[in-house]
Structure 1
Amino acid sequence: MTDQADSPSFRLAYVPGVTPAKWVRIWEERLPDTPLTLLQVSPAEACDVLRDGAADAAFVRLPVDRTVFSAIPLYTETTVVVVPKDHVITAAEEITLDDLADEVVIHPLDDVLGWSELPGEPAFERPRTTEDAIELVAANIGVLIVPQSLARLHHRRDLTYRTLADAPQSAVALSWPEEATTDLVEDLIGIVRGRTVNSTRGRAPQTPAKQREPRKAQSGGASRKNAGSGGGARGRSGGTKGGAGTKGGGRRGTGGGKPRRRS
Structure 2
Amino acid sequence: MTTPDERDESRAFRLAHVPGVIPDKWVRKWGERVPDVPLQLVRVSAAEAAEHVRDGHVDAVLLRLPTDGTGLHAIPLYTEATVVVVEKEHLLTVADEVSVDDLADDVVLHPHDDTLPWERLPGQPAIARPDTTAGAIELVAAGVGVLVVPQSLARLHHRKSLTYRPLIGTEGLPVPQSQVALAWPEGETTDLMEEFIGIVRGRTVNSTRGRGPTPKQQKSSTSAREQSASTGGKQRSRSGRPGKPGRPGRPGKPGRRGKGGSGGKGGGKGRRP
> Could you say whether these structures have the same fold, taking a TM-score greater than 0.5 normalized by the shorter chain as the test?
yes
Match of 1:77 in 2: 80
Kindly tell me: are residues 200 and 148 of structure 1, through their superposed partners in 2, closer, same or farther at Cα, counting changes over 3 Å?
farther
Whether the aligned pair in 2 keeps the contact of 1:9 and 1:36 (CA below 8 Å) is: yes
Whether the aligned pair in 2 keeps the contact of 1:191 and 1:200 (CA below 8 Å) is: no
Match of 1:102 in 2: 105
Separation of aligned partners in 2, 1:58 and 1:200: 24
Q: Which amino acid aligns with 2:213?
A: A
- Structure 1 runs (4+) deviating above 4 angstroms are none
SS in 1 for 2:25: helix
Separation of aligned partners in 1, 2:59 and 2:214: 26
How big is the shift at 1:66? 4.2
Q: Of the two, which has the highest radius of gyration?
A: 2
Q: Give aligned pairs, total.
A: 204
Q: 1:136 aligns with which of 134, 139, 146?
A: 139
Structure-to-structure mapping, 1:58-69, within 5 angstroms = 58-69=61-72
Match of 1:248 in 2: none
Whether the aligned pair in 2 keeps the contact of 1:186 and 1:201 (CA below 8 Å) is: yes
Q: Which amino acid aligns with 2:192?
A: L
Kindly tell me: are residues 4 and 98 of structure 1, through their superposed partners in 2, closer, same or farther at Cα, counting changes over 3 Å?
farther
Match of 2:123 in 1: 120
Match of 2:176 in 1: 168
Separation of aligned partners in 2, 1:4 and 1:126: 49
Q: TM-score, normalised by structure 1?
A: 0.74
Separation of aligned partners in 2, 1:100 and 1:135: 19
RCO higher in 1 or 2 (8 Å CA, sep ≥ 6)? 1
Match of 2:45 in 1: 42
SS in 2 for 1:99: helix
Q: Residues 85-106 of structure 1: CA distance to partner in whole angstroms, max 9, x if unpaired? A: 0100001011111111111001
* 2:193 paired with 1:185: yes
Match of 1:159 in 2: 162
SS in 2 for 1:179: coil
* More helix, by proportion: 1
Q: Which amino acid aligns with 2:80?
A: E
Q: TM-score, normalised by structure 2?
A: 0.72
Quote the sequence identity (%). Answer: 63
Q: 1:33 aligns with which of 5, 16, 36?
A: 36
Q: Residues 152-187 of structure 1: CA distance to partner in whole angstroms, max 9, x if unpaired? A: 000000000000012110000011011211111100
Kindly tell me: are residues 200 and 130 of structure 1, through their superposed partners in 2, closer, same or farther at Cα, counting changes over 3 Å?
farther
Separation of aligned partners in 2, 1:11 and 1:118: 36
Q: 2:18 aligns with which of 15, 18, 23?
A: 15
How big is the shift at 1:64? 3.5
Q: Which amino acid aligns with 1:6?
A: R
Kindly tell me: are residues 67 and 134 of structure 1, through their superposed partners in 2, closer, same or farther at Cα, counting changes over 3 Å?
closer
Kindly tell me: are residues 131 and 200 of structure 1, through their superposed partners in 2, closer, same or farther at Cα, counting changes over 3 Å?
farther
Whether the aligned pair in 2 keeps the contact of 1:4 and 1:184 (CA below 8 Å) is: no
Whether the aligned pair in 2 keeps the contact of 1:147 and 1:170 (CA below 8 Å) is: yes
